[in-house]
Structure 1
């Protein structure tokens, strides 16, 4: 129920911000062949969704995962967690992020936040219970790598770009079908809306493939950062432990999946929509790097 409310609140915020922006730009709607206005219209809505999600990402992450922020450590494990993140952050050249633990049996962790000096790093209770201190440190280093590399901002901007062009070309296709194929000369007919929705579905899948390709590339870079900060052996060991637990389902909100240490496993065509490369390939990449 909470995730549904968060989804609705986010979309309402996007609509409000986009509407105000379009009013200020004097581009309330697209008509005719004014492709410049159409591009502005699509860019506002395309970037509004990704940027609003980015700016409220920490709040949404806490609410959707039940992450408990460690403000005052109550146990030696929490004290160690804070000290480790502080050390890794200092070595990575970023400001100390908020640190939290979320209640999940599967081993996972994530980083989020709108910039590298205002981030959140959280680990699952299951990971803390079953991983060795060196492995936990490597996982934290991987997430710090995401933050230091600016991956949250980068993927949000990429998402905004592809959203823009999906909307843009879908509406051009809808207009073509409505005006040229169906010969409708009175506003936008049913053909426009049906063709636009169809084009958005098809182009949306292609756009997701592009975004996930970038996400997988950033994952390799985060692994490299983790190896630099925590040691290649520890980073490989952490990934091997994750591979040993591969059968456990990964339950993470979709908005956080790209920045989790473990993104699940898909095969075949679905593999193009993976946010993470297969763990075997990530391990091999680190082993090649260490030679």
Structure 2
């Protein structure tokens, strides 16, 4: 089912990309857009994870630098039936996280230093579990490729503003079509992004709570991420807003728009769903890890240190005070 959804999504985004090309240059522009879109899809499949991590300023972190983070992630990955993903850190005071990768065997989870500073170990574990749910559900490839194509559609539409609409090209709709395309094409791409992201966030909340066995830990994490995130700035996300839907919570400042254009479901609704899950016993404790016997990510109060980091947003990095070191 996920493969079918991915195919339909990519086909729709490619068709939109070709439509923009047609409005810019007629049939020739459409064919060029088709070739470019095909190339981008292939490139995104193999390289989108590296591209996203680079654009968000993520740095791979070693087990010696963050042993507790590795222990928590390894045990949760075992609970989810997944291989251990690579771990990355983004130096920003805003608490947030995302997952990427074309499949579980080539996956990565990125967390911010703000997440490690402000959340307890159980809450961080719940966030990691949410991201592992995205990996297990094969959401990461779809969300990354969608972000890549949405950004390309917006860029192509802007090119149309400068190069389309004149009498001497093949644009079948002239200046009016160009103006409409510049306005509507990015909105259409964004709506596809947002619809996919919001649906999959609810699923990842549910599955992540089951993986970590504690829906209320994830609810508490979301509450803190929302509260702190609203007053901090993630500069890497601001520079690449097409990637915002990949995070567990909206990383963009001033982004409290109406529900139609929201990149994520309403946090209060997500917390309410998790609370209902806890009341009905949906967050059953995960099976013990076969190696360690641990049934929870880490004991409360466990800490780590990430020496030598400093937030790009001006705040201290993961080596500052807090339950994580």
TM-score, length basis structure 1: 0.69
- Which segments of 5 or more consecutive residues in structure 1 lack a partner in the other structure? 1-17, 19-28, 179-183
Q: From the two aligned structures, give the one with the greater helix fraction.
A: 1
Note the C-alpha offset of 1:131.
Answer: 0.8
Note the C-alpha offset of 1:61.
Answer: 3.5
Shift in CA distance, 192/275, structure 1 to aligned 2, threshold 3 Å? same
For residues 171 and 75 of structure 2, what CA distance do their matches in structure 1 show? 61
- Aligned partner of 1:259 among 246, 252, 257: 246
- Aligned partner of 1:45 among 32, 36, 43: 36
For residues 154 and 112 of structure 1, what CA distance do their matches in structure 2 show? 9
For residues 151 and 95 of structure 2, what CA distance do their matches in structure 1 show? 32
Q: Is the 8 A contact 1:146 1:259 kept in 2?
A: no
Q: Is the 8 A contact 1:145 1:225 kept in 2?
A: yes
For residues 41 and 94 of structure 1, what CA distance do their matches in structure 2 show? 40
For residues 245 and 163 of structure 1, what CA distance do their matches in structure 2 show? 27
- Aligned partner of 2:93 among 105, 119, 122: 105
2:39 matches 1:56: no
Note the C-alpha offset of 1:70.
Answer: 2.1
- Which segments of 5 or more consecutive residues in structure 2 lack a partner in the other structure? 1-13, 15-20, 281-325
For residues 148 and 48 of structure 2, what CA distance do their matches in structure 1 show? 15
For residues 81 and 222 of structure 1, what CA distance do their matches in structure 2 show? 20
What's 1:7 paired with?
Answer: none
What is the aligned residue count? 246
CA shift digits 1:8-34 (9 cap, x unpaired)? xxxxxxxxxx9xxxxxxxxxx97xxx9
TM-score, length basis structure 2: 0.63
- Aligned partner of 2:216 among 202, 222, 233: 233
Secondary structure of 1:277's counterpart equals coil
Secondary structure of 2:55's counterpart equals helix
Shift in CA distance, 199/287, structure 1 to aligned 2, threshold 3 Å? same
For residues 126 and 87 of structure 1, what CA distance do their matches in structure 2 show? 22
1:49-88 paired onto structure 2 within 5 Å: 49=40, 51-74=42-65, 78-88=66-76
Shift in CA distance, 157/262, structure 1 to aligned 2, threshold 3 Å? closer
Note the C-alpha offset of 1:254.
Answer: 2.7
Shift in CA distance, 117/281, structure 1 to aligned 2, threshold 3 Å? same
Q: Is the 8 A contact 1:43 1:161 kept in 2?
A: no
- Aligned partner of 2:105 among 106, 109, 117: 117
For residues 69 and 108 of structure 2, what CA distance do their matches in structure 1 show? 13
CA shift digits 1:170-224 (9 cap, x unpaired)? x9xxx9x99xxxxx8x862695366245325313312311221111111111111
For residues 162 and 128 of structure 1, what CA distance do their matches in structure 2 show? 30
Q: Is the 8 A contact 1:50 1:156 kept in 2?
A: no
Q: Using CA pairs under 8 Å that are at least 6 residues apart, name the structure with larger relative contact order, 1 or 2.
A: 2
2:240 matches 1:249: no
For residues 273 and 38 of structure 2, what CA distance do their matches in structure 1 show? 33
2:214 matches 1:223: no
Secondary structure of 1:140's counterpart equals helix
CA shift digits 1:242-268 (9 cap, x unpaired)? 233243234223353222122147444
Shift in CA distance, 165/43, structure 1 to aligned 2, threshold 3 Å? farther
